[in-house]
Amino acid sequence: MNKRLFALLSVLVLASMVLAACGGAPAAAPAAYECTDALGCVTIAPDEPVHVAYWGVLSGADASLGEDSKRGVEIAIDDKGGKILGHDILLTTEDGGCTPEGGATAAAKLASDTSLVGLIGSSCSDETVGGIAAITNSGLTTISPSNTRPLLSDPARGPDYAGYLRTAHSDAFQGKAVAEFAYNFLKVTKAATLHDGSAYAEALQQVFADEFVKLGGTIVAQEAVAKDATDMKPVLTTISAAGPELLYYPVFVAVGGFVTAQIRDVAGLEDVKIIGSDGIFTADLLKGGGANTEGMYLSSPDFSAFTGDYAGFIAKHEAKYGGSTLSTFHAHAYDATNILFAALEKVAVVEADGTIYVPRTALREAIFATKDFKGVTGTLSCSPSGDCGAPVIAVYEIMNSDPASWDPTSATAPNPKKVYP
């Protein structure tokens, strides 16, 4: 080989080495993401928001229950700065009306929206009963902050609930706590129950009845009214004839108000002790029940037992909305939203240009795999059947029937005030 040819080849080899070292040669294009998830993937373009939805009761007599939880979702979004994975968070809502039919309608709309990543809701157990099949079968997963019907997290609940979890307690615990309060604290031995036919109320009064009997008490009557009933005197007269010392009515706001307002007008019930539960834990009960609400008892999650920064949450709530919380499950909604966000951040595939792919099965599995999550309500771990919350129940007494006085988290003058345990 002559010297000129050798020199030329040397230059070419050196040049190729320099180009390779400096990235001069074109790099192979990254492989496009291919979704292999059995339930499919949500694709979020670089300029699109991450879309989540809240579904629950947002109108009618029970609207305060749903609005209270929605506020918890909104505060969780605020704490993320309104963004996740570099994208804005879009929150939309669907009103389920606290009925199976309303839940079915809301769920059908949500299930058809392919931009949705995940859901928080529903408010009422009836909404979930009506809508969960559509949600699960669409590939969506929902976390309820306030459904308490025991069957919803029963291991034998069926495949329609594969996309369902909750941060609220099961009424298997709430009914037991109320029975213990009635029998051991109030020292009553004869009780009656009244429900409104909802999945929530019917199941909860039965748990109470079963547990009260186990303690040694007697259930003298178990009655029901329609959710749209207004005249409670006929059913209250029937209950009075059975001679109860206590009436337990874990109903919703409208029925709860009518029962409370009318009960003292029925002979034999002038002094009977009255207890409701978290479905009427709202100032709206005071508006409907009037003066008779004073001295009434209500069961609820035990706010004083929350192990996270509940005081910090309340401060954010007051700054954003002014005034007291509206009902019981705001903190549970906050925790549910943050569990969803944490799972999303674990499984999302983020491309260099900002495109996000969310595999639905992986997201669902990541939510169910939640363990030792530090929330406002406590340390949460999700069971295979969807129970994530800590079942800590308290009983509160209404100290003042003026709706303006409602403030269960007040440090100086709580109303209602915790009395048990």
User: pLDDT below 70 — which residues of the chain?
Assistant: 1-31
In a domain, 235, yes or no: yes
In a domain, 197, yes or no: yes
Determine the 3-state secondary structure of 58 from DSSP: coil
Same domain, 127 and 193: no
Q: Which parts of 263-329 fold into alpha helices (H)?
A: 283-289, 310-321
Q: At 207, which CATH number?
A: 3.40.50.2300
Burial 147-160 (b: 16+ CB within 10 A, else e): bbbbbbbeeebeeb
65 bridge partner residues: none
Report phi then psi at 416, rounded to 5. Answer: -70, 165
pTM comes to 0.92
Segments forming the whole domain that contains residue 49: 41-168+329-390
Same domain, 56 and 130: yes
Q: Taking the CA atoms of the chain, what radius of gyration do you get in angstroms?
A: 27
Same domain, 116 and 211: no
In a domain, 317, yes or no: no
User: Residue 120, class by beta-carbon neighbours within 10 Å (0-12 exposed, 13-18 middle, 19+ buried)?
Assistant: buried
Residue 305's identity, in one-letter code, is A
Determine the 3-state secondary structure of 91 from DSSP: strand
Same domain, 137 and 46: yes
Find all residues with CB under 8 Å of 348, minimum gap 6, and list them.
Answer: 85, 356, 357, 358
In a domain, 4, yes or no: no
Report DSSP state, residue 412. S
Same domain, 84 and 148: yes
pLDDT at 57: 98
Same domain, 410 and 276: yes
Distance (Å, rounded) from C-alpha 177 to C-alpha 420?
9
Tell me which long-range contacts 23-31 makes (C-beta under 8 A, separation of at least 24).
Answer: 30/352
Report DSSP state, residue 242. T
How many domains are there within the chain?
2
Same domain, 185 and 74: no
Q: List the one residue out of 166, 256, 180, 172 whose CA is nearest residue 216.
A: 180
Same domain, 187 and 260: yes
In a domain, 193, yes or no: yes
Enter the tokens of residue 376. 């406002």
Same domain, 229 and 289: yes
In a domain, 26, yes or no: no
In a domain, 309, yes or no: no
Same domain, 223 and 291: yes
Cis peptide before 122, with omega less than 30 degrees from 0? yes
- Pairing verdict, β 41-44 and 356-359: antiparallel
314-375-44 Cα angle (round to 5): 100
Q: List the one residue out of 39, 141, 195 whose CA is nearest residue 368.
A: 141
pLDDT at 32: 80
Same domain, 234 and 340: no
User: Residue 341, class by beta-carbon neighbours within 10 Å (0-12 exposed, 13-18 middle, 19+ buried)?
Assistant: buried
pLDDT at 268: 98
In a domain, 347, yes or no: yes
- Report pLDDT digits (tens) over 39-76: 999 999 999 999 999 999 999 999 999 999 999 999 99
56 bridge partner residues: 95
Distance (Å, rounded) from C-alpha 397 to C-alpha 404?
16
Same domain, 164 and 177: no
